[in-house]
Amino acid sequence: MNDELVLDMNVCLPLRDVVFHTLREAILRGDLKPGERLMELQLASRLGVSRTPIREAIRMLEQEGLAVTVPRRGAHVAKMTLKSMEDVLEIRETLDEFAVKMACERISPEQLKRLRRIKDHFEACTRTGDVKKLAEADVSFHDAIYEATGNPRLVGILNNLREQVYRYRVEYLKNPDNYPVLIREHKAIVEGLEEKNPEKAIQAMHEHVENQAAAVKAIIQMQT
Amino acid sequence: MNDELVLDMNVCLPLRDVVFHTLREAILRGDLKPGERLMELQLASRLGVSRTPIREAIRMLEQEGLAVTVPRRGAHVAKMTLKSMEDVLEIRETLDEFAVKMACERISPEQLKRLRRIKDHFEACTRTGDVKKLAEADVSFHDAIYEATGNPRLVGILNNLREQVYRYRVEYLKNPDNYPVLIREHKAIVEGLEEKNPEKAIQAMHEHVENQAAAVKAIIQMQT
DNA sequence: AATATGAATGTTGTATACAGAATACAAAGT
DNA sequence: ACTTTGTATTCTGTATACAACATTCATATT
């Protein structure tokens, strides 16, 4: 119960948004654990705000699937069962393949250039062994593909789905044994996009997400 | 500005949920039009509650993509451009096909029986010409397939996507010329599921959603 | 006449107050 | 010892108060 929970007051957004982002980060980082109660008064005093922005942030987390509220009994961090994780992962597989297919048709030369740079940066990060940076680079890589679809709604859904598995994804990235595979997969995906070859890109993405899905499931089962 | 907006107080849910459902219905029915401002005090007095539940409901609508809020300037009903509708429709195509594929693997005999009943009910509704009932039957049909995937997260996403096109979908259902096509498509989908033939089911669903997508786009362009 | 200024009004953002439900714990009864 | 009931406490649900910002319209100035 150490105070990892501090608001970034330098941002001039409504407090509800600052609280929302703070709580989301805390949940994804694991500072707020699945099942942990989100008590308004407690959070309000910890973050130094009133209950109102807390409540609104909870409503937002609820719609994102990161929190669950039971009427008259308050909210808690959503629990992640193996089943619900599998549910998320199978949707992600479908949409990630769709995204790379669309990106194949729509990606611009500049976006492709940027994607190559991000891919190289990811490789560089595997050599430093900085897991945090690596995770960021991985997120950037997929974001670059999402953006190239030109479909903001799809970007939103995929980001939300990624959120759900974020914690376990980080575990996967902690094991350097996976790095060569990841680099090879990223390379194949980029090649597919460069060649405007949807079949290749989809196939590469399929293997990529399937490997990650298997790893994530293994990690979850280990934890139980 | 007639008072279509009345709360159903017979439900014993928190007011925020009642307000949320009321506002969502109003938006989907078109009583609250795209771009229309959602002013807290006004809604509060119209619905006979305080601002607090209104604000929480707006936060929920926001996360669902039905409302947009600009800090310090309040919320308005999300506008639906042709582009954003196309974005939604192409995701829906992908996920609807995925859903029917999964349903093919996982649907239980009881669920299949129920689906057949709903299909027949839909056909019956086309003969009465009651568009409201027809829309409900169509929703039920797709819901039955979604449920059969056994993936609640997928159900949630698909319901949300359907929401976005709901208004225009109803227009499509107003034209009896479309009924024979719809009945044929539903029949083909059910057959695919009965035969546990994913290729057939996916193909049937593909044609079904593609036709609807084309119709919806046509309707939108007519309105401009 | 056109633009700038400023007060008045309206609206959102946040805090707080109060009522009612849920929970926990202790004492009494079986 | 176990269940039950009563009570204190905690927490949520809702309303309201107040401050800060945005908008509007009238007035003044160039």
For A67-121, write each residue's pLDDT tens digit: 999 999 999 999 988 999 999 999 999 999 999 999 999 999 999 999 999 999 9
Mean pLDDT of B122-148: 95
CA-to-C1' span, B20 to C30 (A): 49
Q: Round and report the angstrom distance from CA (A72) to C1' (C25).
A: 21
CA A19 to chain CA centroid, nearest Å: 19
Please name the nucleotide lying closest to B39, CA to C1': C11
Residue B60: list chain A partners with CB under 8 A: 59-60, 62-63
Task: Please name the member of B60, B90, B154 whose beta carbon is closest to the beta carbon of A151.
Answer: B90
Predicted confidence at residue B15, as pLDDT, reads 93
d(CA B114, CA B144): 8
What residues of chain A lie within 8 A of the CB of B55, using their CB? 56
B52: the nucleotide nearest its CA (via C1') is D14
Q: Which of B63, B90, B94 sits opposite A63 (nearest CB)?
A: B63
Chain A positions in Cβ-Cβ contact with residue B72 (cut-off 8 Å) = 14
Q: Beta strands A37-38 and A74-77: pairing type? A: antiparallel
Residue A12's pLDDT band (cuts 50, 70, 90): confident
pLDDT in tens, B12-64: 789 999 999 999 999 998 899 999 999 999 999 999 999 999 999 999 999 99
Which bases on strand C have an atom closer than 7 Å to a protein beta carbon? 11-17, 21-23
Look up residue B175 and give its two tokens. Answer: 């034209």
Distance B39 CA to D25 C1' (A): 22
- Indicate the class that CATH gives domain B15-77: mainly alpha
Confidence of residue B119 (pLDDT cuts 50, 70, 90): very high
% of residues, chain B, pLDDT over 70: 96
CA-to-CA distance for B103 and B144, rounded, in angstroms? 9
Start-to-end C-alpha separation, chain A: 23
User: Cα distance from A70 to chain B (closest Cα, Å)?
Assistant: 10
Name all protein residues with C-beta less than 7 A from any atom of nucleic acid chain C: A 14-16, 49-53, 72-73; B 37-42, 51-52, 55, 69, 71-75
For the stretch A14-64, pLDDT in tens is: 999 999 999 999 999 889 999 999 999 999 999 999 999 999 999 999 999
A150 touches strand D (CB under 7 A): no
pLDDT of A2 over the 70 cut = no
Calpha distance A45→A27 (Å, rounded): 18
Chain B hits for A95, Cβ within 8 Å: 91, 94-95
Tell me if A153 and B52 make a contact (CB, 8 A cut-off). Answer: no
Q: Phi-psi category of A196—alpha, beta or left, where left has phi over 0 and alpha has psi -120 to 50?
A: left
The protein residue nearest C10 (Cα–C1') is: B41
Give the chain A residue nearest B86 (alpha carbons): A151
Mutation target among A11, A52, A59 for the B interface, most CBs of B within 10 A = A59
Cβ contact, residue pair A56, B52, below 8 Å = no
Which nucleotide has the least CA–C1' distance to B73? C12
Residue of A nearest to B56 (CA): A56
> Could you tell me the pLDDT band of residue B166, with boundaries at 50, 70 and 90?
confident
pLDDT reading at A3 higher than 80: no
The answer to whether the CB of A193 falls within 8 A of the CB of A111 is: no
User: Looking at beta carbons, which residues of chain B come within 8 Å of A63?
Assistant: 59-60, 63-64
Flag the least confident range among A4-8, B135-139, B187-191: A4-8
Can you read off the two tokens belonging to residue B12? 């014993």
Instruction: For residue B86, give how far its alpha carbon lies from the nearest alpha carbon of chain A (Å).
Output: 9
Chain B: closest CA distance from residue A101 (Å):
11
The rounded mean pLDDT for chain B is 93
Residue A121, beta-bridge partner list: none
Contact check, Cβ <8 Å, B153/A84: yes
> Does residue B3 carry a pLDDT above 70?
no
Q: What are the residue ranges spanned by the domains of chain B?
A: 15-77, 82-223
CATH of A82-223, one of 1.20.120.530, 1.10.3720.10, 1.10.10.10, 2.40.30.10: 1.20.120.530
Torsion of CA B145, B146, B151, B153, to 10 degrees: 180
CA–CA separation, B180 and B177 (whole Å): 7
pLDDT of B223 over the 60 cut? yes
CA atoms within 13 A on the CB side of B54: 18
Q: Scan residues 20-79 of chain B and list those with Cβ within 7 Å of strand D.
A: 49-53, 72-73
Burial of B156 (0-12, 13-18, 19+ CB in 10 A): middle
Q: What is the pLDDT at residue B1?
A: 43
